[in-house]
Amino acid sequence: QVQLAESGGGSVQAGDSLSLSCAASGGTFDRFVIGWFRQNPGREREFVSAISWTGTMTLYADSVKDRFTISRDNVKNMGYLQMTSLKPEDTGVYYCALRTTWRPASLRFPQEYEYWGQGHQVTVSL
């Protein structure tokens, strides 16, 4: 059973940078595509970014493109989301998730992911 644990995040001001990490255990990490999602109360879980098994392919939501960078380290079984130029609308609980397939048309759908972390709060204030 794969387990995921996010770390990082916290409270920052608009324009600041923040990094999130996702540690995986219990599985063969490089078999999985990593996705990052975020969610606010009363709203659906929103796709942020995804990275393929070896990191050669990435996808970003338009709202974070050119500000966020997704990466992974398959030796350490770690995924990362580096966030820069943060805005108040980036506030939310951020989740990392894993799936086995890379299908660009469905990477944005949380129901396509098999494993999820517990979530980590990111708060951006003016």
pLDDT one-digit tens code per residue, 50-108: 999 999 999 999 999 999 999 999 999 999 999 999 999 999 999 999 999 999 999 99
Q: Residue 64's beta-bridge partner residues? A: none
- pLDDT for res 9: 87
User: For 1-39, what is each residue's pLDDT tens digit?
Assistant: 899 999 998 999 999 999 999 999 998 899 999 999 999
H or E element: which one contains 82?
A: strand 78-83
**Which residue is associated with the tokens 């990111």?**
122
50, exposed or middle or buried, with CB in 10 Å at 0-12, 13-18, 19+?
A: buried
Strands (E), 14-57: 18-25, 33-39, 46-51
Question: For the segment 44-64, what is each residue's pLDDT rounded down to a tens digit?
Answer: 999 999 999 999 999 999 999
pLDDT of residue 79: 98
Cα 89–Cα 5–Cα 94 angle in degrees, nearest 5: 10
